[in-house]
A and B are shown apart, each in its own frame.
Chain A
Amino acid sequence: MQLVEGEKEVIIACVNEVLKEKEKTTENLIPILQNVQARLGYLPSLAMEMIAADLAVPAADVFGLATFYNQFRLSPPGKHQVKVCLGTACYMVGGKIALESFERRMEIREGETSVDRLYSLERVACVGCCTMAPVVVVDEVVEGKVTPTRVDGIMLALQENGDTKKSEMKTDLPDEGEGKNK
């Protein structure tokens, strides 16, 4: 992937910062990668090279780790990340249907990021909210009982609030409710 101007500097600054915080042992390799990804959203190969050099491990090994663990991604995520849970409970009550609905609406497949980098769609094994199945995690917010119609609702909310954060969206809701009560 080609880095756009300025991205390289951001990556270097970020990785240096993380490396400064952690002791240079292979035991810290995964925490370092987690930290970098938490800040950049993904693991650019430049970051992996820097980390490998700093910890004196083969870059191939860092690449191996990054491709082994589910958590790591090698390309930037979409602006909105949707993770569909396909744990047993979710699967049994239509997790796959929810996933397919998202795939249709976002016009991408699971594991992909839309061309406009607006959405990325992933499956996760279990987020531990089995009683709310099927569950999806939309930008870190867990949504329960997601039917295909709810998928449409989520997508609509993401489109309308393209620039607002989910949390801000949520605070809109009670006012509506209050209005109803009065």
Chain B
Amino acid sequence: MSDQITITIDGRQINVMPGLKLLWAALDNGIYIPHLCAIREEIRPNASCRLCFVEIEGSKHPVTSCTKTVEENMVVKTRSPRIDRLVKTAFELIISDHNLKCNECPANKNCVLQTIAKERGLRLKQKRFKSIVREFELDDSPEVFAFDRSRCVLCGQCIWADRVEAKVGAIGFTNRGIKRMVTTFKDLPLADSICTQCTLCVDACPVGALYYKKDRKEAGS
């Protein structure tokens, strides 16, 4: 299309629609940038996972590609020693707060964290940081799915699904800082909340925090 603009990512020239955020421009063109919290439809991106850093020529500091709108002739690098260092630390910090028993996890082999590790050559079993995974009671109250908060990476995808797609409003973020979590009103089990168990949130979860119980999975596949 004529109104497209041209940008360069990692030496590759690509044509994209103006107004698009850089992250989606890259992903749409098969260039991988790690990300967890980004939602294409969101007007003001969360920018909370801090994994999608890139370097843009002319910018002093690394920028998050989910918040950066593409500009004509923008020259972008998705890898550099600085970017790699930031992404590695962000990733390892997330891992330090994530229940790493992958072989017990229904999302094993289908987990965004594993994808990021593979794409960027990072180790899931990081050694720099102490594990600070919190203990939560498993919420398996819904009929077909369950919620294991020890695997939650606080990306907010489930809340978006609940609010914007399902229009229910059963779950949200609560607390502050290290205690931040996704939960229902009064921390009720999902089945006791206003949750309709539509499972859109389960489909949105990039890791194995919200997952289908076994029987359903088998029935589905």
Q: Which residues does A use to contact B, with CB under 8 Å?
A: 45, 48-49, 52, 57-64, 67-68
Tell me the chain B residues, 160-177 only, with Cβ under 8 Å from chain A. 163, 169-176
Q: Please state if B184 and A60 are interface contacts (CB–CB under 8 Å).
A: yes
Choose among A52, A58, A68 the residue that contacts B170 (Cβ–Cβ < 8 A). A58
- Contact of A68 with B185 at beta-carbon distance under 8 Å, contacts A58-B169, A60-B169, A61-B169 already known: no
- Contact of A67 with B185 at beta-carbon distance under 8 Å, contacts A60-B169, A61-B169 already known: no
Contacts of A49 in B (CB 8 A): 185
The 8 A CB mask of B15-57 against A (1 = contact, 0 = none) is: 0000000000000000000000000000000000000000000
Q: Please state if B175 and A68 are interface contacts (CB–CB under 8 Å).
A: yes
Chain B residue, CB-CB nearest to A58: B169
Q: Please state if A59 and B185 are interface contacts (CB–CB under 8 Å).
A: yes
Contacts of A52 in B (CB 8 A): 185
Contacts of A45 in B (CB 8 A): 185-186
Contacts of A57 in B (CB 8 A): 169
| A59-B185, A60-B170, A62-B185 given; 16 more Cβ-contact pairs under 8 Å | A45-B185, A48-B185, A57-B169, A58-B169, A59-B194, A60-B169, A60-B183, A60-B193, A61-B169, A63-B174, A63-B185, A63-B186, A64-B173, A67-B176, A68-B174, A68-B176
- Nearest-neighbour CB distance to chain B for A63, whole angstroms, equals 5
Bound Cα distance A58, B169 (Å): 5
Q: Which residues does B use to contact A, with CB under 8 Å?
A: 163, 169-176, 183-186, 193-194
Chain A residue, CB-CB nearest to B168: A58
Q: Please state if A64 and B174 are interface contacts (CB–CB under 8 Å).
A: yes
Bound Cα distance A52, B175 (Å): 18
A-B contact pairs, 10 of them (CB 8 A): A48-B185, A58-B169, A58-B185, A59-B194, A60-B169, A60-B172, A60-B183, A67-B174, A67-B175, A68-B176
Bound Cα distance A45, B193 (Å): 13
- Nearest-neighbour CB distance to chain B for A64, whole angstroms, equals 5
Bound Cα distance A57, B194 (Å): 13
Bound Cα distance A68, B174 (Å): 6
Chain A residue, CB-CB nearest to B169: A58
Interface of A is mostly: helix
Contacts of B173 in A (CB 8 A): 64
Q: Which 3 pairs across A and B sit closest by C-beta, in order of nearness?
A: A58-B169, A60-B172, A59-B185
Contacts of B172 in A (CB 8 A): 58, 60-61, 63-64
Bound Cα distance A60, B184 (Å): 6
Contacts of A62 in B (CB 8 A): 185
Bound Cα distance A38, B82 (Å): 50
- Nearest-neighbour CB distance to chain A for B27, whole angstroms, equals 30
Q: Please state if B175 and A60 are interface contacts (CB–CB under 8 Å).
A: no
Bound Cα distance A157, B175 (Å): 35
Bound Cα distance A163, B150 (Å): 46
Contacts of A64 in B (CB 8 A): 172-174
Contacts of B163 in A (CB 8 A): 58
Contacts of B184 in A (CB 8 A): 60
- Nearest-neighbour CB distance to chain A for B160, whole angstroms, equals 13
Chain B residue, CB-CB nearest to A49: B185
Contacts of B171 in A (CB 8 A): 60
Bound Cα distance A62, B175 (Å): 11
